[in-house]
């Protein structure tokens, strides 16, 4: 195998487009954009092979700000657009940028199907638990009781948990990170980029205009250590400023917080296995929600399955091997013909 | 014009006819579509011109024997060229009372009525709402030559020795009916026999049973004393060449595969099943070795947006649906329009609104296709005239899409989609190439301009992966040349006009409108889509009868051919027959200020030639 050494060395700057960024000052989207620009040059993929497809929402302006190929499509439909891009041209690395309203309200259908098909695209869901672009209505991830312009008395909907939905659709890669957790986010994005199949990443994103601080529990230094748990494959679930707490399964196989020492050792804890084919562990992790439990951050699930795009092309290939390359004349002359 | 001679087996009389219309009808489980299709094949192979009209119930399996479950297949075959499956039926095969009840009104006086006598028992009669057996009532059927044939029991006897279950044995009765009709019209059954052998290759007992039933039916015709005449329809004088039979949906699939092959491109089809468009997906799914990728999406929105994605990524991309599905695709089409990407959207129209008449034909989506997107969003619209014409118009649609960088709509309808006619297999050398050019210049330091335009006002098509041409597109209004987002009032006005002018400019590149009949006169009949055959025939007959009338059939609906306004001015009156309440009429009136009158039918059925003829006379004589 020869290694292509001719690839130009790229830097984050090479991925910045000349368009003025129009997000509100201090919007969490800036950080996600910055981390993306950091990660892409490390992947060894030529710049022209990236395509960013988004729906509609504040976050969906993202492709305009990247100097790659990109499409700002319509509300909720980016996964379907991306499926078309990837099927037409499997050489491309295709990213889907979407918001919680975009992907889980109007686009719930496409979101589910891109995951269950395992199309080789990377879906980054910017979850700010609010509709930003339309100026602050509650979203399908807003907690019950959220007061907004459309719910002055508090919302009565029960929220969706994006990771549970993703795992339910048998996502082969599912992860979570936080906008300001720079290193962690870079790492998760990089792992998503390298995953073969649909990679789903939920990013807690602060909409400081309409839903400021919704994820402070997971982003504030000094507090987050007590509220989140960083997942590492093969390692026990330990958290806390002093790494003195862990997660254990109780007698009903439900997760519970325990303190290490006092008779509880690391071996008693739940160990993370992102490669488990069985989805129970991933579901269980997704069910851990603040404030009852520390919320897991990192890769919940990462398994290898054939991708949809590969399967489609395998069929094209085997049909061609079986029937020979398509011949129009032969096609037209199949069945009963007659000559006048 | 019939000539008579005595010939054939048992000295029966053989009469020669020019054209015959046969309809097979029965319960949806009776295999009537199969009987009709096979009869069409043997007639086509024999050299007749053929035209067919299948008629399905909306329910896959309505309760057996009920009026709602009747399935029919009509075929006209002729020794001269024909354009429709015919107005009146010469021979009606009715497999049960419900089929008789729903179809007998279309049988011409003196026509042959062949019924499966066995099926006229109590429970079937009551399901069909007959109080007594119509076969016992000489009077009600007195106008027809009635042939009561116990098909079920004769079929059972014919296959008795094969040891099939009674149900399996009775299933073959459609082949018995076919055999009898093959005798009646002196058809050579060989193509059907071959078909049976290959279709049931893995079940030799079924091959034998069906062939036995077929031959039993044929022999019944020879021996029965009840049938004394049989008929001959000579081959038609079609232009010399090699032919096969195609349905409209097949021809659309062939047309797109041809366009992609000629362009040296991959064909991408994103679709969601819906009657009567599904067969396009089915046909293309078989053709993977032509470098065709088919994607059965989760819904119509995903279908059109996957097509947008595939087109952006460089494929020749198409989708097909019917009314309700096209309604869902509107937003995606608008995206394709503002991003100026090539793609073709096929609407196989059916009766609406909503789910409407899902298995019946109509032309009532014209407004939706012309206007059914938000914003000022004109798209080119083309409409094939007949099943075989779909092959050509699919290629035309793709050519326009690629040359002008725009979504294009192709309007078919249920009548064209399911109907069949002979198609002259084209010489490969006669196929017009489709040229695709992808921008790939790596300009040193110079920025790529995604909305720079050529002489047709088309912007460049770049395949992602091309170095140096990275660019972003999207649904927000953009400025010309750079493609940057720009909401300024002047820019929106400018871009709206530019996009409209680009579509209008296509008129310079499509054929001028032709007219059949005198170049000026009392009446111009304008039609579009699947009503072509009935209108064409009606105008021809009217001219023969001395009326001053001509016919303009439109295959390009947006933009209209450049000369259409001038053509209209050459006639005193304009008549526009449509299977809707007057959609083209409104557009023609709005565009040309022509005082057109309409003939409008919304019954889920195509026009009869006689209806159009009568209206032509009325309009002309009402001077
Ligand atoms: C068909 C359609 N319906 C509604 C809208 C209006 N709309 C635009 S963005 C949006 C919600 C965006 O919320 P989210 O996806 O959470 O993204 P955010 O703006 O918070 O990043 C809505 C309802 C639209 N553009 N298109
Ligand atoms: S409204 Fe919220 S999500 Fe949108 S740009 Fe402003 S801060 Fe960001």
Structure tokens at A338: 């007659």
CB pair distance less than 8 Å for B243 and A77: no
Tell me the sheet residues that pair with B27: B70
**Best mutation target, A87, A92, A333, to test chain B (most B CBs within 10 A):** A87
**Best mutation target, A4, A64, A69, to test chain B (most B CBs within 10 A):** A69
Give the number of the ligand closest to the Cα of residue A77. Answer: 1
Structure tokens at B451: 């909305």
CB pair distance less than 8 Å for B295 and A325: no
Q: Using an 8 Å CB-CB cutoff, list chain B residues near A19.
A: 472, 484-485
CB pair distance less than 8 Å for A328 and B428: yes
Structure tokens at B203: 């079940």
Which candidate from A73, A113, A337 shows the least CB-CB separation from B244? Answer: A337
- Please choose from A20, A21, A27 the residue to mutate so as to test ligand 2's pocket, defined by most ligand atoms within 8 A of CB: A27
Q: Residue B600, Cβ neighbours under 10 Å: how many? A: 17
CB pair distance less than 8 Å for A88 and B313: yes
Q: Using an 8 Å CB-CB cutoff, list chain B residues near A79.
A: 302
Kindly state the average pLDDT of the residues B561-576.
98
Q: Using an 8 Å CB-CB cutoff, list chain B residues near A91.
A: 465
Containing B480, the helix (H) or strand (E) segment is none
CB pair distance less than 8 Å for B465 and A49: yes
- What ipTM was reported for this prediction? 0.96
Which candidate from A70, A77, A85 shows the least CB-CB separation from B472? Answer: A70
**Using one digit for the tens of pLDDT, what is the confidence trace for B441-491?**
766 667 899 999 999 999 999 999 999 999 999 999 999 999 999 999 999
Residue showing tokens 């071959």: B194
Q: Does residue B1 have a pLDDT over 50?
A: no
Q: Tell how far the Cα of A27 is from the centroid of ligand 2, in angstroms.
A: 5
Minimal C-alpha gap between B465 and chain A (Å): 5
Structure tokens at A105: 């309200």
pTM for this model (two decimals):
0.93
Q: What is the pLDDT tens value at each position of chain A, 340 positions in all? A: 455 556 678 999 999 999 999 999 999 999 999 999 999 999 999 999 999 999 999 999 999 999 999 999 999 999 999 999 999 999 999 999 999 999 999 999 999 999 999 999 999 999 999 999 999 999 999 999 999 999 999 999 999 999 999 999 999 999 999 999 999 999 999 999 999 999 999 999 999 999 999 999 999 999 999 999 999 999 999 999 999 999 999 999 999 999 999 899 999 999 999 999 999 999 999 999 999 999 999 999 999 999 999 999 999 999 999 999 999 999 999 888 888 8
Residue of A nearest to B265 (CA): A88
Q: Using an 8 Å CB-CB cutoff, list chain B residues near A92.
A: 313, 464-465
Residue of A nearest to B425 (CA): A332
A59 lines ligand 1 (CB under 6 A): yes
Euclidean distance between CA atoms B542 and B611, whole angstroms: 12
CB pair distance less than 8 Å for B244 and A92: no
Q: Each residue of B404-414: b (16+ CB within 10 Å) or e?
A: bbbbbbbbbbb
For ligand 2, atom 6, the nearest C-alpha belongs to A24
Q: What is the pLDDT of residue B3?
A: 53
Which candidate from A17, A316, A340 shows the least CB-CB separation from B238? Answer: A340
Q: Counting runs of H as helices and runs of E as strands, what totals does chain A give?
A: 11, 12
Q: Each residue of A205-220: b (16+ CB within 10 Å) or e?
A: bbbebbbeebbebbbe
Strands B70-78 and B292-296: unpaired
Of B96, B19, B24, B97, nearest to B56 by C-alpha is B24
Q: Does residue B331 have a pLDDT over 50?
A: yes
In three-state secondary structure terms, A222 is coil
């Amino acid at each position: 195998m020869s290694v292509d050494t001719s690839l130009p060395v790229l830097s984050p700057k090479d991925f910045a487009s000349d368009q003025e960024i129009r997000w509100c000052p201090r919007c969490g989207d800036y950080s996600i954009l910055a981390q993306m620009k950091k990660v892409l040059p490390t992947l060894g993929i030529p710049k022209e092979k990236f395509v960013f497809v988004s729906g509609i929402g504040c976050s969906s302006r993202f492709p305009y700000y990247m100097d790659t190929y990109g499409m700002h499509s319509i509300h909720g439909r980016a996964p379907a657009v991306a499926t078309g891009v990837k099927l037409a041209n499997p050489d491309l690395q295709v990213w889907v940028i979407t918001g919680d309203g975009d992907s889980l309200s109007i686009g719930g259908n496409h979101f589910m199907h891109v995951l269950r098909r395992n199309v080789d695209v990377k879906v980054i869901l910017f979850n700010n638990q609010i509709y930003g672009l339309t100026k602050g209505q509650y979203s399908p991830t807003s907690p019950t009781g959220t007061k907004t312009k459309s719910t002055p008395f508090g919302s009565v909907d029960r929220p969706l948990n994006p990771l549970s939905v993703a795992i339910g659709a048998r996502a082969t890669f599912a992860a979570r990170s936080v906008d300001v957790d720079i290193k962690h986010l870079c790492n998760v994005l990089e792992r998503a980029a390298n995953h073969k199949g649909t990679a789903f990443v939920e990013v807690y994103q602060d909409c400081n205009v309409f839903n400021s601080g919704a994820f402070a529990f997971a982003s504030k230094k000094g507090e987050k250590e007590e509220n989140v748990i960083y997942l590492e494959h093969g390692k026990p679930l330990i958290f806390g400023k002093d790494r003195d707490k862990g997660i254990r399964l109780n007698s009903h196989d439900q997760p519970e917080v325990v303190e290490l020492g006092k008779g509880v050792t690391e071996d008693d804890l739940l160990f993370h296995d992102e490669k488990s084919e069985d989805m129970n562990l991933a579901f269980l992790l997704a069910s851990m929600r603040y404030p009852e439990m520390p919320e897991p951050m990192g890769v919940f699930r990462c398994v290898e399955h054939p991708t949809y795009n590969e399967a489609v092309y395998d069929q094209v290939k085997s049909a061609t091997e079986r029937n020979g390359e398509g011949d129009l004349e032969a096609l037209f002359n199949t069945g009963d013909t007659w000559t006048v | 014009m019939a000539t008579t001679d005595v010939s054939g087996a048992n000295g029966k009389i053989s009469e020669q006819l020019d054209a015959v219309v046969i309809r097979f009808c029965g319960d949806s489980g009776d295999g009537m579509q199969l009987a009709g299709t096979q009869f069409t094949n043997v007639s086509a192979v024999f050299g007749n011109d053929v035209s067919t009209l299948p008629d399905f119930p909306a329910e896959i399996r309505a309760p057996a024997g009920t009026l709602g479950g009747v399935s029919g297949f009509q075929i006209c075959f002729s020794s001269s060229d024909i354009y429709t499956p015919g107005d009146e039926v010469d021979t009606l095969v009715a497999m049960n009372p419900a089929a008789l009840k729903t179809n007998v009104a279309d049988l011409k006086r003196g026509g042959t009525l062949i019924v499966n006598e066995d099926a006229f028992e109590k429970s079937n009669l009551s399901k069909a709402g007959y109080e007594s057996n119509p076969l016992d009532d000489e009077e009600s059927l007195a106008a027809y030559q009635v042939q009561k044939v116990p098909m079920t029991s004769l079929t059972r006897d014919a296959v008795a020795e094969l040891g099939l279950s009674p149900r399996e044995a009775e299933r073959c009765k459609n082949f018995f009916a076919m055999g009898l009709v093959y005798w009646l019209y002196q058809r050579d059954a060989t193509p059907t026999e071959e078909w049976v052998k290959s279709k049931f290759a893995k079940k030799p007992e079924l091959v034998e049973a069906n062939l036995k039933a077929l031959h039993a039916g044929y022999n019944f015709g020879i021996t029965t004393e009840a049938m004394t005449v049989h008929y001959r329809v000579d081959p038609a004088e079609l232009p010399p060449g090699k032919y096969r039979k195609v349905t409209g949906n097949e021809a659309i699939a062939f047309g797109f595969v041809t366009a992609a092959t000629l362009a040296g491109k991959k064909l991408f089809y994103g679709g969601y099943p819906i009657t009567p468009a599904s067969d396009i997906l089915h046909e293309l799914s078989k053709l993977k070795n032509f470098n065709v990728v088919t994607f059965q999406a989760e819904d119509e929105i995903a279908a059109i947006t996957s097509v947008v994605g595939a087109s952006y990524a460089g494929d020749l991309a198409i989708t097909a649906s019917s009314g309700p599905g096209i309604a869902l695709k509107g937003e995606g089409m608008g995206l394709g329009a503002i991003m100026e990407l090539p793609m073709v959207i096929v609407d196989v129209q059916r009766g609406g609104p909503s789910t409407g008449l899902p298995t019946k034909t109509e032309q009532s989506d014209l407004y939706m296709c012309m206007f059914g997107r938000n914003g000022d969003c004109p798209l080119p619209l083309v409409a094939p005239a007949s099943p075989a014409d779909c092959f050509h118009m699919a290629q035309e649609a793709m050519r326009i899409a690629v040359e002008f960088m725009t979504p294009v709509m192709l309007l078919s309808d249920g009548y064209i989609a399911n109907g069949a006619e002979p198609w002259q297999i084209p010489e490969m050398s006669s196929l017009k190439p489709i040229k695709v050019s992808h921008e790939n210049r790596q300009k040193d330091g110079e920025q790529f301009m995604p909305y720079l335009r050529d002489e047709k006002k088309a912007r460049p098509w770049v395949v992602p992966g091309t170095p140096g041409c990275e660019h972003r597109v999207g649904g927000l209004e953009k400025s010309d040349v750079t493609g940057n987002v720009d909401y300024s009032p002047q820019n929106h006005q400018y871009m709206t006009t530019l996009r409209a002018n680009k579509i209008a400019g296509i008129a310079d590149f499509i054929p001028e409108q032709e007219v059949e009949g005198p170049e000026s006169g009392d009446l111009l009949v304008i039609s579009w889509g699947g009503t072509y055959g009935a209108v064409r025939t009606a105008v021809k007959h009217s001219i023969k009868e001395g009326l001053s009338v001509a016919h303009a059939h439109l295959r390009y609906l947006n933009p209209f051919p450049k000369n259409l306004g001038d053509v209209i001015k050459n006639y005193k009156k304009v008549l526009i027959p449509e299977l809707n309440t007057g959609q083209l009429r409104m557009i023609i009136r709005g565009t040309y200020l022509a005082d057109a009158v309409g003939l409008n039918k919304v019954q889920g059925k195509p026009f009869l030639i006689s209806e159009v003829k009568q209206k032509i006379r009325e309009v002309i004589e009402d001077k």
